[in-house]
Amino acid sequence: MYKSIKFFLVVCCVLSTARTLSAQVNGASVNGAQANAPQWLDDQAVGVIRISVTATNTQGVLERLAELLPANANELNVWRSQSQAMADAVKAAGGEELLIVYSLADDFADQPLWVVPKAKNLDIRSFQSSLPGTQALSLSGKPMTLKSFEFDDATVVGTKAALERAKANKTQPPATLLESMQTPYNTFTLSVTMNADQRRAAAEMLPQVPPFLGGGATRDLLSKIQSLRMDLVGESSADLVFTLTGDATAVEARAKNIKDWLDNPANANSAPVFKMLGKFLVDHLTSRPPKSQGQTASWKVPIEAVLKSGASELLSSAMLQADEQRAAYHLRTLALAIHNHYSAMKRFPSPLSGLDGKSPRRLSWRVDLLPFLDQNDLYQQFRLDEAWDSPHNRSLISKMPNVFRVPQSKHAVESGLSTFVLPSNAVTMWPADREIDFKDIADGSSNTMMIVEVKDEFAQEWTKPEPFEINMQNPASQLGGHFKDKVFFAAGDGSTGVVGSDKFMNLPALLTRAGGEAITW
């Protein structure tokens, strides 16, 4: 939920204008539209993307917009690929549009709801038979089975849990989101909103809007905003049209606040992504008078202007920060799984034996952790009495969960190459010749590296039972490599940390479990 709140706040601050929405849509009021809300759209819905699969310019403008994606846009490229695959399946089956629904009730980091509205020429069976493979539709790389269900107005594709929730839904979606969905569009539309509970939670979690976005109380800002929308329009050269509903008087003050922040010498050393975002807002949105139509306000920005504005660099900086957070999250998840393994099995995953602690190791510690990573279905697919490279077990290498890799890795998740390893050496937590216990970590579990990030050239096939021999004389030669001058790790107590290049001399001491070395930060 926190990611959704941050996303909504950023976009709200990007647009931050317009008036309370009460316009009529196709002759129906908001309340009237609410009465006809689709069952698959619930009160926790925060965003809907609509893609016209029949518009002649759809592919062209999306490809133009894709030029904004920087080289490190790994997950956005996965999203774009899976969206294109779904759109192609809809078009081939005679459909007209594809809706992608994001709800806080679902784990949409893995999978949203894909909605195909009824259409005169839509062949449902053809669409269902041409669905892309489930692995290709997983942002996290987690194997999952997508199912479909026929509602009165649409065919909906999603995980079993999401579909069961949608079938049982009795709630009403946010009125402004529903109305935005019913408004005609050209090629591509993104609509975002928050209900009262979500606004309240956002204000509690982030009381103040960051200064580079204009500052002020979050509660005050959110009280003035109902919803926002972005459309791709145009033929040969596309435009982005941003439309927001709320209080139009906030925009001039916000633009001035952002400019004052940018001009303040005290902020010269602020993160580049903050300065770039503030400048982009002033140059392209907040300083421009909106076009008022009825009770809404909108801005039209040519994609060419966005392409030349440094937006790609802005996205790159933002994604780098997001990937650093994701790397730390993956490490915390793995560390927790190792601790849960210890609690259940009374021992750490061993380089010597399999999950039962007795049989010779045929598969890696990562496979051992699958039941503790909510991946029991994948675990059950492995033949534990066969070697990791048997024909059957090799077929599962491409199903590596994303949690075993650094987001910045050049290796695709399907490669099965893991950039998180257990550093093995006689003096580390993972000696290759025996098992250890917490009592053996004399340096303290919080001062001992348990999982480390390695460079792409040292990545391991995730199912292979192969200890990672750490070079204790020069560990920096093997570690890091994805974020400039940094090495990410998880300590024995489950906490995560980062070692900067100016502290690489501490790496050998952090790797030993009982060396007694002094660590100077």
Tokens of 435: 């098992």
What local confidence, expressed as pLDDT, does residue 15 receive?
38
**Residue 393 vs residue 252, higher pLDDT:** 393
Beta strand 45-52 with 97-103: parallel, antiparallel or unpaired? antiparallel
Angle at 490 between CA 489 and CA 493, to 5 degrees: 150
State pTM to two decimals: 0.66
pLDDT band at 235 (very low <50, low <70, confident <90, very high): low
Q: In what helix (H) or strand (E) does residue 497 lie, and over which residues does it extend?
A: strand 496-500
pLDDT band at 448 (very low <50, low <70, confident <90, very high): very high
Q: What's the chain's average pLDDT?
A: 80
What local confidence, expressed as pLDDT, does residue 110 receive?
61
What local confidence, expressed as pLDDT, does residue 451 receive?
97
> Taking 60 as the threshold, does the pLDDT of residue 393 lie above it?
yes
Please, what is the angle between helix 272-281 and helix 311-345, to 10°? 130
**Could you give the percent of the chain with pLDDT greater than 90?**
36
> Taking 90 as the threshold, does the pLDDT of residue 426 lie above it?
yes
Mean pLDDT calculated for residue range 242-254? 71
> Taking 80 as the threshold, does the pLDDT of residue 155 lie above it?
yes
Q: What are phi and psi of 298, to 5 degrees?
A: -145, 160
Burial track 476-513 (b if 16+ CB lie within 10 A, e otherwise): bebbbbbbeebbbbbbbebebebbeeeebebbbbbbbb
pLDDT band at 453 (very low <50, low <70, confident <90, very high): very high
Mean pLDDT calculated for residue range 76-91? 79
What local confidence, expressed as pLDDT, does residue 59 receive?
66
